[in-house]
Structure 1
Amino acid sequence: MAVNSGDAAFWDIRYQQHSMPWDSAGLPGGFAGEAQRLLAAGARRVLVPGCGSAYEVEALLQHGAQVLAVDFSAPAVARARALHPQCADAIVEADFFSAAVSGEWDWVYERAFLCALPPALRPQYAAKMAALLPAGSCLAGYFYLGDKRGGPPYTIATDSLQALLGPYFTLEQQLQLPGSLPVFGQDEYWMVWRRTQET
């Protein structure tokens, strides 16, 4: 069977070969200010799925957040722990869609995770986010919008994202931040989706 982006092996190879055009080599543009706003508003328990090199984890921990960062690629987790040894306990090898990732969170941080998934997994993504986030909490971070063919990274059209998340979340904020990586061009947006009352 062909390797695809839903398999850890797909990402293992890219980390082993250092072929990581999504890696920001530091905090993404605009992250510090937007994160501080969410933290100040009470989003203290933060889950980071598909954490990759986990640059944001150290910053979140320094601001007093309770953080769990997960990735199902063992080389990604090894890299993240090597880059941030003081944060190693907060970085765990786990599949986001498995029962190992559970609990209730104030904020799930999105960065190059949804766009890395095969589009067929999007309904599972939305349902899992809804299960992890109680009413009033948020799914917030960077979303790769558009209608380009192929991937990863896979774009998602604005109306498709609304259809995906709308049953669970309300879009509260959308803005373009400086410093997006070339792989995303001008199509990456910071968005805050607020969890609506659970049904």
Structure 2
Amino acid sequence: MNDPTCPQQPGGAPDDVPGGVPDGVPEFQTRDPGAREFWDERFERGFTPWDQAGVQPAFESFAQAHSAAAVLIPGCGNAWEARWLAERGRTVRAIDFAPSAVANARVALGDFADVVEEADFFTYEPPFAADWIFERAFLCALPKALRPHYAQRMAALLAPGALLAGFFFLGDTPKGPPFGISRTELDALLTPWFTLLDDQPVEGSLPVFVGRERWLTWQRNDMPAAPPPSSRT
């Protein structure tokens, strides 16, 4: 599960994509972004306008500054960042619950294919204690009802002092994906368990994110994580 965009939302509403839905957008069977099939169909057909097709400088800089961090990447999609880390001998796991995304990523990673797993973030247990969970087009891919689950699961996976850092898509949007989130809501969502350490502008965003991404670094505090939700929905 990675991120944006379907020609219509459940019930037939168009996506909230800057500039509207572009010509040539294929028709899809699945309209529910909370469903595995939604993302699997898009990766299978190569419709991934959220895919950077590489690693952004902000990621490289942060990764180099935290060179000993073991990294978990949820909603990894084509897993460019996982490849970058694995090639440098870093401890990393990248997960996605869309089989086509995982298959694509494993082919691209070649000798490092085993760092990519098909899994649901909300139930996944990584094989190591993550020092950094990388956020990239994952929160904004989730239906809004799953946001509290996202925060609770992040808190459960990270020990005090560990980091949740990456690209956050800000500004509330009525439709999606991508589902933007207001800064006020994001702060309320994360501050029970995290302290904001850094907030930086982002250059070189893709059209679906341009002008609304920030690189945010959150540090896990010592507040105990909430019990896991009984359902992902």
Is TM > 0.5 for Structure 1 vs Structure 2? yes
**Structure 2 residue aligned with 1:197:** 222
Q: Structure 2: which 5+ residue stretches go unaligned?
A: 1-9, 11-29, 225-233
Residue 14 (structure 1) aligned with residue 31 (structure 2): no
Cα distance between partner residues in 2 of 1:89 and 1:36: 23
- Distance across 2 between alignment mates of 1:182 and 1:165: 27
**Contact 1:130/1:195 (8 A) holds in 2:** yes
* Displacement of 1:99: 4.3
Q: Secondary structure at the match of 1:164?
A: helix
RMSD: 1.6
| 1:27 has 2:43 as partner | no
1:64 Cα deviation from its structure 2 partner: 3.1
- Taking structure 1 as the reference length, what is the TM-score of the superposition? 0.93
Please tell me whether the aligned partners of residues 29 and 180 of structure 1 are also in contact (alpha carbons under 8 angstroms): no
- Residue 165 of structure 1 aligns to which amino acid in structure 2? L
How far, CA to CA, are the matches of 1:35 and 1:7 in structure 2?
A: 31
Give deviations 1:15-57, integer Å, cap 9, x for gaps.
1121111001111342211221122xx4x21100000000001
> Is the partner of 2:153 in helix, strand or coil?
helix
Is the 8 Å Cα contact of residues 192 and 223 (structure 2) preserved in structure 1? no
**Quick one: distance in 1 between partners of 2:181 and 2:66?**
24
Deviation at 1:148, TM superposition (A): 2.5
Matched, 1:5 2:30: no
Once the 2 structures are TM-superposed, how far is the Cα of residue 59 of structure 1 from its aligned partner?
A: 1.4
Structure with greater helix percent: 1
2:81 aligned with 1:56: yes
Whichever of the two has the greater Rg, that structure is 2
> 1:59-138 to 2 correspondence within 5 Å?
59-101=84-126, 104-138=129-163
Counterpart of 2:180? 155
Matched residue type, 1:33:
S
Gap runs ≥5 in structure 1? none
Q: CA deviation at 1:113?
A: 0.3
> Take 2:57 and 2:65, find their aligned partners in 1: how far apart are those partners?
15
TM-score between the two structures when normalised by the length of structure 2: 0.80
Cα distance change of structure 1 residues 126 and 102 upon mapping to structure 2, 3 Å threshold: farther
Map of 1:183 onto structure 2: 208
Please name the residue that 1:174 is paired with: 199
Aligned residues: 196
Distance, in Å, in 2 between the alignment partners of 1:38 and 1:157 is 28
Aligned counterpart, 2:229: none
